[in-house]
Amino acid sequence: MRKKSGLKLFLIILCIAIASYIALNGLEIGIYRIVPLGEGVQQGLDLKGGLYVVYEADIAPGDPDRDNKIEGAIRVMRNRLDRANQHEATIAPQGTNRIVVEIPGVSNPQELADILMKPAVLEFIGPEGDVIITGKDVKSAKPGYITGQKPVVHFELHPEGAKKFAEATEKYLGKVIKIVLDGNPISQPKVNEEIPNGQGVIEGMENIEEAKTLANLIESGALPVELKQVEVRTIGATLGANALERGILAGIVGLSLVFLFMLVYYRLPGLVADLALVVYALLVMLITVVARITITLPGIAGIVLSIGMAVDANVLIFERMKEELRAGKTMRAALDAGFSKAFSAILDSNVTTLIAGVVLLYFGTGPIQGFAKTLMLGVVVSLFTAVVFTKYVLRLIIDLNVQNKKLYGV
């Protein structure tokens, strides 16, 4: 019994030591390589540097076409960013009339913000590269169907545009006229007949949704809605790196302080809580990497804060154990009673923290959500390490017959 427990304890400590080493330094075995966890973490743009812009679309709340217009605007922006070689950018709708653009790791954030806001250019270009008409010539564009189920865009031109277009379709009969937005071809219809009246059809859409978006784009010749920048945040890479460095430093110092406190105040169980804390830190980092959670500056704050909360469960358990020991119970009985009696308070406290986290996640925007995610992750993981892991290890120690009550801080 004693031997077995001792061996298990030794193996657990060994595993934690190896895992910590790998997490910090990585590992190379032949062709396989495990990178250090720090390198695997996806950093948010407030740490890498980059651009965060929120646009507000000028749409009446009751506009039935609202979603389409937003979608169209997102498509235009995507086009422009692709052209500026920004493939890492994320563009997402927020709420009902806002669009959030995030571009990590750029050195010229202000320029990009300008690119996004430039009025777009719609052009019909002939096979010889000549511009036939532009967005200004378009009077209206409507989505519709031809031959029953084929989605198309019907467009109508102003008289002057119609004249130019009539000449071109005559000249390029049977050839392709490219429709180009911001330099990107969006459609390449073939001219099947001369179009004298300035009314035409663009084919080649997958579905009616796409036709709607294209119609929207053509009608405005640019962004389908008036967009205002309501929030622009640019973070310089140097400043981001500095924020990360100091966040990690805060984490290490915070962890060490908690470590020391638990050890000094709770002695042997405190040491076990510290082991649990190491496991906790490893697990949180591992989950962050595996689940591809983007770590932002508030996210780091959430993790550091949760380190302080992680040992709270241990404090409750150990205080209970002390009470039971003072009441004259044996070590094992005190341990079991300590865990079972403290559990309801631990569970309730964690649930309330999770409630606040869920509310933050729901109401918060970008950075605040990052904080809420890591905080909730921390709460869930610490529930496991502080209760399950600690209990298991303490049991093993008691099996080894470490019975001196002084070691337990009584």
Binders in 343-372 for other proteins, by CB under 8 A: 344-345, 348-349, 351-357, 359-360, 362-365, 367-368, 371-372
Task: Choose which of 90, 107, 197, 404 interacts with other proteins (CB under 8 A).
Answer: 107
Residue 56: left (phi > 0), alpha (psi -120 to 50), or beta?
beta
Could you say which residues in the range 202-221 bind other proteins, by CB under 8 A? none
Residue 244 near residue 250 (C-beta atoms within 8 A): no
Stretch that binds other proteins, among 140-148, 174-182, 224-232, 395-403 (CB under 8 A): 224-232
Helix, strand counts (H, E) of the chain: 13, 15
User: What is the x/- site pattern for other proteins, positions 111-150, by CB under 8 A?
Assistant: ----------------------------------------
21 binds other proteins (CB under 8 A): no
90 binds other proteins (CB under 8 A): no
Token code pair at residue 133:
């008409």
In 3D space, the residue among 318, 316, 306 whose CA is nearest the CA of residue 254 turns out to be 306
**Beta carbon nearer to other proteins, 161 or 302:** 302
Stretch that binds other proteins, among 18-26, 31-39, 74-82, 235-243 (CB under 8 A): 235-243
DSSP 225: S
In 3D space, the residue among 16, 24, 21 whose CA is nearest the CA of residue 393 turns out to be 16
CA dist 100 and 93 (Å) reads 6
In 3D space, the residue among 232, 281, 247 whose CA is nearest the CA of residue 43 turns out to be 247
Task: Choose which of 14, 24, 35, 230 interacts with other proteins (CB under 8 A).
Answer: 230
CA dist 102 and 45 (Å) reads 8
388 binds other proteins (CB under 8 A): no
Residue 143 near residue 211 (C-beta atoms within 8 A): yes
- Closest contact distance (angstroms) between CB of 332 and other proteins is 22
- Closest contact distance (angstroms) between CB of 106 and other proteins is 9
**Beta carbon nearer to other proteins, 55 or 165:** 55
Host H or E run for residue 141: strand 138-146
Token code pair at residue 394:
């303490």
- Closest contact distance (angstroms) between CB of 376 and other proteins is 10
Residue 100 near residue 52 (C-beta atoms within 8 A): yes
**Beta carbon nearer to other proteins, 12 or 250:** 250
**Beta carbon nearer to other proteins, 175 or 228:** 228
**Beta carbon nearer to other proteins, 185 or 236:** 236
Could you say which residues in the range 46-75 bind other proteins, by CB under 8 A? 49, 54, 56
How many CA atoms lie within 13 Å of 161's alpha carbon, on the beta-carbon side?
18
Task: Choose which of 135, 151, 221, 298 interacts with other proteins (CB under 8 A).
Answer: 298
**Beta carbon nearer to other proteins, 18 or 249:** 249
User: What is the x/- site pattern for other proteins, positions 248-287, by CB under 8 A?
Assistant: -xxx-xxx-xx--xx--x----------------------
Per-residue DSSP letters for 290-317?
HTTPEE-HHHHHHHHHHHHHHTHHHHHH
Per-residue DSSP letters for 46-69?
HHH-EEEEEEEE---TT-TTHHHH
Task: Choose which of 116, 297, 383, 387 interacts with other proteins (CB under 8 A).
Answer: 297
